[in-house]
Amino acid sequence: MTPQLLSCQKSLFSLPEGVTYLNCAYMAPLLKSAEAAGIEGLQLKRAPYHINLYHFFDQVQEIRKTYANLIGVQNENRIVTMPSVSYGMGVVAKNLDLKKGDKVIVAAEQFPSNVYPWMNLTKEKDAELLTIWPPETKENRGEKWNEKLLDAIDEKTRLLAVSHTHWADGTVFNLKALREKTKEVGALLVGDGTQSVGALPFNVEEYRPDALICSSYKWLLGPYALTLGYFGEAFDGGKPIEEAWINRFDSDNFAGLVNYQDNYQEAALRYEAGGRSNFILIPILQAALQQITQWGIPQINKYLAKITEEPLQKMREIGCQIEKANFISPHLFGIRLSQDFNLEKLKERLTEEKIYVSFRGSAIRVSPYLYNDKDDLLKLTDVISSVKK
């Protein structure tokens, strides 16, 4: 049975009329249901006598289950919460056995949380950080960039740290091909899922990354300061960044916490950041993940493909440079404008029209979601067209 196409879901959010928000890659607005869950969590803190083991342990476990199900992970104890992507990459860096002359590979202009750890580590270990730049060409830029990345992986490569979708211009990286090549040479593949998971289908069983770190405040519609990390078998038995008491064996036995334990809890749970039982942020994220589960990530992607198809075609017709459809995803794409367009005027007009996008590097980053419709994107197209010289 073909799943039904979703319709616009704006009524589930609190975005005012007159605002055209095409900037989910910057920050997602809260769902009304997630906002209500957060308020409930806040109110719980004024009555701490109601806070019990469920809030310390089970709520987080529910997030693990819901998220594991969304990304195709069998064992939910491979999912941990942490404050940021930089924290998750810190865990990877701490456990990466890097030697002199080894290579870490990144794509150019990645988000800094997935670059600074490798700059530091390669310097410390006298290893090489290899940055793969996109080709100069405007034709088939995405395809050729992918080829360059693949070609760079060799016997000296220990880690490829990339994302599924480039955060600045939306280039989609072929993680399956990159995984195969990294496997051949025995290198780890670590993904930053922040700009893709939730809007672009991704299945851990299928792609087999060694770790996947994903901030929740964009395409997972979660709160700020809550990130989800998946750690595969390559990280079993590793060293956590900190020694959170709750990650040790028997930590739900509050009366016995000073019977210090040598053992951690199973699978990846040792990597969870301290203070994980956040009674406000956790319910917000759980409400959001439940809604995403109900919609289905493939359906979200299909809806976005439907509303962007005609506007993308029109944008290309008026002279916007946009990557070919198979190397961008409809949830995040970069538009590059030639000298024929007045960029300063465009910024003014966008502000006047209350159209929200981001300017990242050389691209205008457009990132619609289910609260948008085709008219929102056509409105953007008209504004771009109006600043053509």
Ligand X SMILES: Cc1ncc(COP(=O)(O)O)c(C=O)c1O
Contact footprint for ligand X (CB under 6 A): 84-86, 111, 113, 163, 167, 192, 194-195, 215, 227
Both tokens of 103, joined, read 């290579």
Do 362 and 336 form a contact (C-beta atoms < 8 A)? Answer: yes
In the complex with ligand X, the residue whose CB is nearer, 157 or 163, is: 163
In the complex with ligand X, the residue whose CB is nearer, 26 or 295, is: 26
Least Å from the CB of residue 340 to ligand X: 29
Tokens 């979708």, residue located? 165
In the complex with ligand X, the residue whose CB is nearer, 111 or 202, is: 111
The identity of residue 231, as a single letter, is: F
3-state class (DSSP) for residue 129: strand
Least Å from the CB of residue 211 to ligand X: 14
Both tokens of 286, joined, read 């759980």
Cα-to-chain-centroid distance, residue 255:
38
| Rounded Cα distance, 373 and 331, in Å | 12
Least Å from the CB of residue 214 to ligand X: 8
In the complex with ligand X, the residue whose CB is nearer, 222 or 311, is: 222
| Rounded Cα distance, 212 and 193, in Å | 6
| Rounded Cα distance, 131 and 309, in Å | 33
In the complex with ligand X, the residue whose CB is nearer, 271 or 341, is: 271
Least Å from the CB of residue 283 to ligand X: 20
In the complex with ligand X, the residue whose CB is nearer, 129 or 318, is: 129
| Rounded Cα distance, 295 and 220, in Å | 12
| Rounded Cα distance, 148 and 121, in Å | 23
In the complex with ligand X, the residue whose CB is nearer, 171 or 381, is: 171
Least Å from the CB of residue 26 to ligand X: 7
Least Å from the CB of residue 193 to ligand X: 8
| Rounded Cα distance, 84 and 89, in Å | 9
For 177, residues 6+ apart whose C-beta sits below 8 A from its C-beta are 146, 150
E strand residue ranges, 272-362: 333-335, 355-356, 358-360
Sign of the alpha-carbon dihedral angle for 289, 291, 297, 300: negative
Least Å from the CB of residue 111 to ligand X: 3
In the complex with ligand X, the residue whose CB is nearer, 214 or 287, is: 214
| Rounded Cα distance, 377 and 340, in Å | 21
Least Å from the CB of residue 73 to ligand X: 20
